[in-house]
Amino acid sequence: MSELRFEDVTVRYGRTTAVDGVSLTVPEGAVVGLVGESGSGKSTLARAAVGLAPLTGGRITLGGAPVPARGRSRPLQMVFQDPYSSLDPRMTVGRCVAEAIPPGGSRAGRRAEVERLLELVHLNPACAAVVPSRLSGGQRQRVALARALAARPRVIIADEITSALDVSVQGAVLNLVRELQRELGLAMLFISHNLAVVRYVASHVAVMRHGRLVEQGPTTRVLTEPGHDFTRELLAAVPGRTTRRSTP
């Protein structure tokens, strides 16, 4: 039982309310997409879940208990948007992934674990010896995923993980996300501004605007019969809807 629940979550910075009474559930083993425009509060919601933003109201639970904000056991992990900023430029890939492995175990065991994780995200284990600047954006994002997996999370929050990448490597990262979900049964809150990307990876979708959740439900339902004007507006704005034919 490792369901991630947001219950009436509110986050305020001074006078501005970034997240306003959001209730949302990420069921076990499911990928939930969270869409919205910049400033809609979707990233703040993610940061609140992992303890990077203070809660003003409501609560966030994982498997019925509050998400631990102290200690080294962190069953909720986050992958950030910009892989150029989320990896310490001075740390080798191996140390970076190893740092996230919960303490304990032998040195050899940790090294084996790092190798296993790198292979899991389709990186050559030899990568462990290099610093991030030697890797491409897509490879870095896969290192970030390996690091998140190293903490043995029950749920991963992915915050716009493809939007800083070049078009040609986005596909590889999205394929990996789907594979991890299918093979490891990993639950994920997948944040994106791109409806087509969310459609591809998520079974459920939630739409945020001005800090509030305006609509949520199964992806196919929300995208075919949107119930809220803003969802319709978002759908209408997806480029390529009007002129492009479907790819064979």
Is residue 229 near other proteins by the rule CB under 8 A?
Answer: no
Is residue 181 near other proteins by the rule CB under 8 A?
Answer: no
Distance separating alpha carbons of residues 21 and 8, to the nearest angstrom: 4
| The two three-digit tokens of residue 35, written as one number | 């869409």
Is residue 15 near other proteins by the rule CB under 8 A?
Answer: no
Is residue 81 near other proteins by the rule CB under 8 A?
Answer: yes
Parallel, antiparallel or unpaired: strands 16-26 and 65-66 = unpaired
**Collapsed DSSP state (helix, strand, coil) of residue 120:** helix
Is residue 152 near other proteins by the rule CB under 8 A?
Answer: no
157, 26 in Cβ contact below 8 A?
Answer: no
Q: How far is the CB of 49 from other proteins (least distance, A)?
A: 9
Binding part of the chain for other proteins, among 4-12, 22-30, 210-218, 231-239 by CB under 8 A, reads 231-239
| Helix 137-150, helix 167-184: angle, nearest 10 | 20
Q: How far apart are the first and last CA of the chain?
A: 41
Q: How far is the CB of 156 from other proteins (least distance, A)?
A: 11
**Contact letters for other proteins, residues 204-223 (x by CB under 8 A):** -------------------x
57-62: strand order across its sheet: 16-26, 4-13, 57-62, 65-66
Where in 188-207 is the site for other proteins (CB under 8 A)? 193-197, 199-200
Binding part of the chain for other proteins, among 3-11, 23-31, 104-112, 127-135 by CB under 8 A, reads 127-135
Binding part of the chain for other proteins, among 3-11, 21-29, 109-117, 237-245 by CB under 8 A, reads 237-245
Choose, by CB under 8 A, the member of 171, 185, 218, 227 that binds other proteins.
171
Is residue 164 near other proteins by the rule CB under 8 A?
Answer: no
Is residue 175 near other proteins by the rule CB under 8 A?
Answer: yes
Distance separating alpha carbons of residues 154 and 63, to the nearest angstrom: 9
Distance separating alpha carbons of residues 227 and 239, to the nearest angstrom: 21
143, 97 in Cβ contact below 8 A?
Answer: yes
**Contact letters for other proteins, residues 40-79 (x by CB under 8 A):** -------x--xxx---------------x-xxxxx-xxx-
**Contact letters for other proteins, residues 84-123 (x by CB under 8 A):** -xxxxxxx----x--xx------------------x--xx
Cα torsion for 200, 202, 208, 213, to the nearest 10°? Answer: 150
